[in-house]
């Protein structure tokens, strides 16, 4: 089973900006969310914690890994979608015709960025490697986690636009009968 965890809050997330490869740290609230995720996941049975190479994910992963007594393995396949020239900008700033095309064409990529198809391919590789083994935790970002869910459901990549994923949420995929399935999506842990 894979526990996909979206990192805690950053200032850019709070401002509702497209946040791809820019590398801001967690906010104080994001660090609190990471601590709550760690408390929740300590009994997950996971013996490995993987993380995107971006700081917000690594900070979240470190908080989760500490009570498990394991190191964090950085895996580039978990990195956020590359928004290219659109990184750290509001969706309202994107050219409307490009935004419309992006929502109907999974091969479309923002200028100097990455397509939904490309994200899906790299995340599928991660999922194939770990879904049928012992539980692992993968701390990542909105687009790769949605791609993992889409992979498990063998669904159209454009389904990503019809899914909402909160920061500091947990989504689970597994293969109980050697067939990938979605076990949980966008579960949030209340801050105590």
Copy the structure tokens of residue 172: 């689970």
Annotation marks residue 9 as catalytic: no
Single out the residue of 181, 118, 120 nearest to residue 145, CA to CA. Answer: 120
d(CA 53, CA 74): 6
Annotation marks residue 80 as catalytic: yes
Given 9, 80, 114, 141, the catalytic residue: 80
C-alpha Rg value of the chain to the nearest Å: 16
Q: Where are the alpha helices (DSSP H) in 115-171?
A: 116-130, 142-153
State the sign of the Cα–Cα–Cα–Cα dihedral 17, 21, 26, 29: positive
| Residues taking part in catalysis | 7, 80
């Amino acid at each position: 089973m894979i526990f996909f965890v979206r990192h805690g809050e950053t200032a850019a997330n709070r401002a509702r900006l497209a946040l791809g490869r820019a590398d801001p740290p967690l906010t104080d609230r994001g660090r609190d969310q990471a601590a709550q995720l760690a408390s929740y996941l300590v009994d997950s049975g996971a013996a490995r914690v993987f993380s995107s190479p971006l700081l917000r994910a690594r900070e979240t992963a470190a908080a989760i890994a500490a009570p498990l007594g394991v190191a964090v393995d950085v895996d580039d396949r978990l990195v956020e979608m590359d928004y290219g020239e659109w990184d750290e900008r509001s969706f309202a700033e994107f050219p409307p015709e490009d935004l419309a095309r992006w929502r109907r064409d999974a091969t479309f990529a923002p200028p100097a960025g990455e397509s939904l198809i490309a994200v899906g391919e790299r995340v599928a590789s991660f999922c194939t490697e770990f879904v049928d083994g012992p539980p692992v935790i993968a701390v990542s970002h909105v687009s790769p986690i949605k791609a993992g869910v889409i992979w498990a459901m063998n669904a159209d990549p454009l389904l990503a636009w019809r899914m909402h994923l909160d920061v500091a949420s947990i989504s689970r995929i597994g293969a109980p009968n050697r067939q990938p399935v979605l076990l949980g999506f966008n579960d949030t842990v209340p801050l105590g």
